[in-house]
Chains A and B, each alone.
Chain A
Amino acid sequence: MKLAYYPGCTLHGTAREYNASTKAVCKAAGIDLVEIEDWNCCGALEAIFDKELSMGLSARNNFNAQDTGLPLITPCSICSHNLSRADTAMKTDPAFRAKIEKALGKKYEGVKIKHLLDVIVNDLGIEAISKKFTKPLKGIKSVAYYGCLLVRPSEVSKFDNPENPMSLDNLIKSTGAECLPFAQKTKCCGGNLLMNKQDYAFLLSKNIFDEAKARGANCVVVACPMCHMLLDGQQAMIEKAHNIVIDMPVLYFTQLIGLSMGLDEKELELDKNMVSTSKLIESIGREEVKVDVKAEPKAEKAEVAE
């Protein structure tokens, strides 16, 4: 399988381990990634409310993908949302299309845009990829955290149930790791409030950890660099703000399945996560895994999903 690849800005910066593990996993799974030429920022969450600008910036990347003649994939939920939204607008809104075609002097034909998780779970298929999972991840008790834009709005994302998605759960389970029920799997982490309302962003993220702890999880698995920025990058700040200990590794799903493929930890850049992943990795294959329950779990919240 050959695909055009749009990493997006964060994968060349704060989410470099997502980029490294995506490349490693795709290579091992027989997916050939061709990074598109001279790509630009999709507008991210900062331009998401400026609809035309966000779609205009994204459309330029779609044009560059169109030149490859391949379907376009990205591991970032925000990029995937913005690029897909732009593709739809270019096909259905003639006034917008005229503006962008004028700016770039090219004709738009359309590009198939997908999130990496969608490609792995639905195009490649769990059955096919799980044949490469040589190392069962016994001892990992995870919760799958989808966040917002990976599955919402469903008219843009299209590949899983927006209220109770299961694709990531099913992929995790196929590695031999546990994936626990999680009521907050699609609840917002507060990423877009990090700069202007940090206390709210931290509270939303703390709620996610509270439930994960109450469930007995020893890690959170994500598919979005912004969710990771909050849950992993800001975890120490959340602990400080709420005077609690969380100490919970947050893995990109590519890092998790990479481990199951027996790929090298360095290649998956598991040392680049801000919260140390070493204790979790050491525990794989062992019977009992110690779970830190110092953060007070909210029992009533945990019951909602059952």
Chain B
Amino acid sequence: MIKSSELDPNFKYEIAKEPGGENIKKCFNCTGCTVGCPLTEIDKGFNPRKIIRKALMGMRKEVLSNDSLWLCASCYTCYERCPQDVKITEVIGAIRAIAQREAEAGKIKINNPKPVFDNLFINSVKSNGKWYEAGVSGTFMLKTKGLGGVIGYAPMGLSLFKKGKLSILPHKIKGTDEIKKIFEEVEKK
């Protein structure tokens, strides 16, 4: 049962203010996004229409803490087909950004390891200008699966290394100061 007293009518405006979330209110709930979604095909529990509908209704906590928020593979099929130009893939991104801030503030808990990987990746770009594959993958495995995860990843890492596809050390670009300035500017709200 949905209790209207528990709904947050401002949630849709909060999403619309986030980069990528601007068009959420255009959704008229037609389900075009969901019938073409490759994730829905393999997991009926993943339903982009419901994520948008619940967000519009103001089910803030449910939307932000539900694991399905992290299952979108950013394939842009829904984005392409949406008759209302909701830009669903980007709306999901906007909701993820809010969820990450809520998690950092200790208000919700995100169980999915996706943001852990993304943040490690982004931090490696922040310090080097390029992503540091061996370091990011190794740290991610250690953080989410422990030493066993690192050992499990080792054969793959080794075969990539043998083919000359994996560098042990990070590559740093010259303009890392410019990268830092970009981060500072886009992080300003």
Contacts and interface: CB of A to CB of B under 8 A. Distances in A.
A252 interface: no
Contact of A196 (B112, B129, B181): B112
A190 B73 contact: yes
Contacts of A191: 73
Contacts of B174: 38
Interface string A257-287: 0000000000000001010000000000000
Interface stretch (A27-35, A99-107, A111-119, A241-249): A99-107
Describe A's contact surface by its main secondary structure.
Answer: loop
Given A44-B121, A104-B178, A188-B75, A200 B90 contact: no
A140 interface: no
A50 interface: yes
Contacts of B79: 152-153
Contact of B97 (A49, A57, A104): A49
Interface string A83-104: 0000000000000000110111
Interface residues of B, number: 57
A237 interface: yes
Interface string B88-126: 001011101100000000000000111001100110010
Contacts of A59: 182
Interface stretch (B5-13, B50-58, B156-164): B156-164
Interface size class on chain A is: 35 or more
A15 B112 CA distance: 28
Given A45-B74, A153-B76, A153-B79, A60 B182 contact: yes
Contacts of A203: 42
A46 B19 contact: no
B39 to A, nearest CB: 7
A60 B125 CA distance: 13
B173 interface: yes
A75 B21 CA distance: 29
A274 B42 contact: no
Contacts of A180: none
27 contacts: A14-B166, A16-B163, A38-B173, A43-B122, A44-B121, A46-B131, A49-B97, A53-B122, A56-B183, A57-B182, A60-B178, A100-B182, A100-B185, A103-B178, A103-B181, A104-B178, A187-B38, A188-B38, A188-B39, A188-B75, A195-B114, A195-B140, A196-B117, A200-B39, A200-B43, A201-B73, A237-B156
